Copies of this chain bind each other. A is one copy, B any other.
Amino acid sequence: MSILTSEIQAALEKQAIELPSWAFGNSGTRFKVFGTPGTPRDPFEKIADAARVHELTGLAPSVALHIPWDKVDDYSALRDHAESLGVTLGTINSNTFQDDEYKFGSLTHEDESIRRRAIDHHLECIDVMDATGSRDLKIWLADGSNYPGQADLRGRQDRLNDSLREIYARLTGEQRLVLEYKFFEPAFYHTDVPDWGTSYAQVATLGERAMVCLDTGHHAPGTNIEFIVMQLLRLGKLGSFDFNSRFYADDDLIVGAADPFQLFRILFEVIRGGGLNNPDVAFMLDQCHNVENKILGQIRSVLNVQEMTARALLVDADALRAAQVAGDVLAANAVLMDAFYTDVRPALAEWREGRGLPADPMKAQLESGHQARIEAERVGGTQAGWGA
């Protein structure tokens, strides 16, 4: 019998992790972007790669788009393409950091005409959402400054609020706005949404369908991220996760690769706070695969989230509660560690097979010849990347 109870299996059954289309394109650092054979040349190929991840794992039924990187003439064609491959189009990510006009900001800009342009870009993103059937508009801003004095922090915050209100007003039906925060980069002195408090204070003024996006790589060293998860769930404002991992800055490495125990603690708080398989809390990846194979990197990532979710579901909540009430520090900690150290991989492989999926999706991909196929097919053209 599996160590995963039927209750746990039912929870895992519902788990869905959205993939970022840009994870399949080339990425890198300011020093170098390495290209690799088989990299998609357009949004259709990116979605095909994402669908491949879902085909092998059953975990990734939707794909997030980045506008303008994933701009196409006909979004219903893109939608049909996705659906024909078994996935749907998900969150729309705006981009106001690559035009020369946004050098000194976008939704916060001093110049009303540039700010107008940035707002309009977001309205256009909502048009895309209407066409793709996406629910969420995710806003991450590169806005900030490099030198003290360069910017009027206060005025920018007020303009940001004004811009967000206008964008929020354009949403209809179930559509939501999720505002991401980031500690630093690409701005080095200040960023306009640096922490969860700022994101929360901003979205709280907008309305119920405005939420916070927590990117696991966007915090100061030493930050207790699971505390923030708990707090945002408690405040009813945790809209989505951008999963990835980091050793130093916003490294955008494979989720769970740098500190697996932290990922476990985060997922434990997600479960504790009712955030698992809760439609209000979207699970997404936001990663770069600078030096590793991208499709395999995404497979590894969703498996990491699934494995860690299984471990977090194994926590004996009653025993934990009893130890906490008793003030038994070591017993309480042991309950958590016992679940963390349990090897759930064989049980998950079995469960996967029971659903008609490969027991080992990494191996399945490696042995399938899929990579060789796309390398052969995708010759010529311009490989997708952040600049395209």
Contacts and interface: CB of A to CB of B under 8 A. Distances in A.
Nearest to A340: B260
Given A222-B184, A247-B189, A152 B324 contact: yes
Interface in A235-285: 235, 246-249, 251, 253-254, 257-262, 265, 269, 272-273
B197 A98 contact: no
Interface in A14-45: 27-35
Interface in A314-365: 320-321, 323-325, 327, 329-330, 332-337, 340-343, 345, 362
Nearest to A320: B149
A41 B184 CA distance: 31
A210 to B, nearest CB: 16
A151 B32 CA distance: 19
B290 A231 contact: no
Size bracket of the A interface: 35 or more
A324 B110 CA distance: 8
B32 A265 contact: no
Nearest to A326: B110
A168 interface: no
A224 interface: yes
A320 B149 CA distance: 7
Interface stretch (A80-88, A126-134, A291-299): A291-299
A336 B257 CA distance: 11
Contact of A183 (B32, B222, B341, B345): B222
B253 A146 contact: yes
A330 B294 CA distance: 10
A12 interface: no
Contacts of A68: none
B223 A103 contact: no
Contacts of A272: 152-154
Contacts of A30: 27-30, 33, 186, 386
A262 B149 CA distance: 12
Contact of A224 (B194, B257, B330, B337): B194
A100 interface: yes
Contacts of A110: 324-325, 327
Given A152-B272, A342-B343, 17 more contacts: A29-B185, A31-B142, A32-B97, A103-B291, A104-B291, A146-B251, A148-B257, A149-B320, A149-B333, A150-B332, A188-B253, A197-B231, A249-B249, A258-B261, A307-B341, A341-B343, A343-B343
B265 A148 contact: yes
12 contacts: A32-B98, A104-B291, A146-B251, A146-B291, A146-B329, A154-B233, A157-B231, A184-B248, A195-B196, A197-B201, A197-B228, A220-B221
A302 interface: no
A226 to B, nearest CB: 7
A308 to B, nearest CB: 10
A190 interface: yes
Contact of A154 (B146, B200, B234, B329): B234
